[in-house]
Amino acid sequence: YNCINMLLWNLICFIAFILVPCASRDLISAQYGFHDHGVEGMPAPPAHFLIHAFFQPYQELKDMTCIECKTAAAALDTMMAAGATVEELENIAITECINFNLFPSDVCSGMVKLCGAEVLYVLNNTDYKYDTICGWLLGGHCQNTELVPWTIEIPGGKPEPYHPEPDQNTPNVVRILHLTDTHVDLLYDEGSAMRCDHPLCCRHEFGEPGPGEAGAGHWGSLANCDIPLNTLEELIAQAALTNPDLVYMTGDLPAHDVWAQDHASNLAAINVTNSLLKQYFPDTPVINVLGNHASAPVN
């Protein structure tokens, strides 16, 4: 059995569960894991996980991802220790992502190039174990991950908390409108295919609907699509009729095309949304909060 092939195979798992899921890891869950049996403080070698996986009864794929993740993390650690560059690891990740049809080629390439360097930087500059990595990526069911100890110094000299009593002579009710996760797609194309091989559809680039299939609707689609701009505007216009005293906008304004996003595209979605809020709430305070989708690459 060729050890190089083994490392490459392990890296495939790394692609699926470390680089590419930067956008879609919330869709993956795992409920299976093993304890380390190596030297205290050190993870077991990749073969340990492969042997145990081989003798386990058949389970759904999602129940095996924890084993694969740990095996991949071990292989990644080996390749990084051997001096593999970020570009080399990214190229392997993109190639295998495409070969194994994990995502379309532009999604594979886009996500790896956007997130690869950041992921590898974190792994190179933190103390981590395989259980910790896979627990963070796949959730708590993939081993009981120990919390990383944090020490935060809080500046002193702050005043004592002040708890004012409400004025009994004024109304104690405030109408607050809370908007969030609007995810407007500025490239939404009415009539286009709302089902495609990409994580986000309803765009001209993904073609027309197939025979007997409906196209993307005027106001949106019950498919893998975000809302069009006209729907966002109508939503805000109708909400303005409720005459709120205050508006909370708690983020996640760009679309879900996270493999193709950059600073300019995310800023465009944020600016369009805030322009509509300013138009329909000219005299109402609007409090904005950045969501995890505001950054490029996506958090």
Choice among 9-13, 23-27, 99-103, 218-222 with the minimum mean pLDDT: 23-27
Q: Is the pLDDT confidence value at 90 over 70? A: yes
What is the Cα–Cα distance from 112 to 114, expressed in whole angstroms? 5
Rounded CA-CA distance 68/28 in Å is 13
Query: Which residue reads 């996270």 in tokens?
Result: 258
Given a cut of 90, whether residue 245 has pLDDT beyond it is yes
d(CA 251, CA 58): 42
Q: pLDDT tens, 13-66?
A: 454 444 444 433 333 322 223 333 333 333 444 444 443 443 444 344 445 577
207-231: string of b/e by CB count within 10 Å (b at 16+)?
A: eebeeeeeebbeebbebbbbbbbeb
Alpha carbon distance, N-terminus to C-terminus of the chain: 39
**And the tokens for 111?**
């996500």
Alpha-carbon gap, residue 256 to 297, rounded angstroms: 11
CA-based radius of gyration for the chain: 24
User: Which residue has 């759904």 as its token pair?
Assistant: 60
> For residue range 155-194, what is the model confidence (pLDDT) as tens digits?
888 888 899 887 778 777 899 999 999 999 999 999 999 9
Q: What integer is the mean pLDDT of 248-264? A: 96
- What's the CA gap between 214 and 176, in Å, rounded? 38
Reported in sequence order, the residue ranges of the chain that DSSP labels E, i.e. its strands, are 176-179, 246-249, 286-288
| Contact (CB, 8 A) for 195 and 223 | yes
Give 27-68 as a DSSP string: G----------SSTTSPPPHHHHHHHHHTSPP--GGGTHHHH
H or E element that contains 273? helix 263-280
| Residue percentage of the chain with pLDDT more than 90 | 44
Six token digits for residue 51:
């042997």
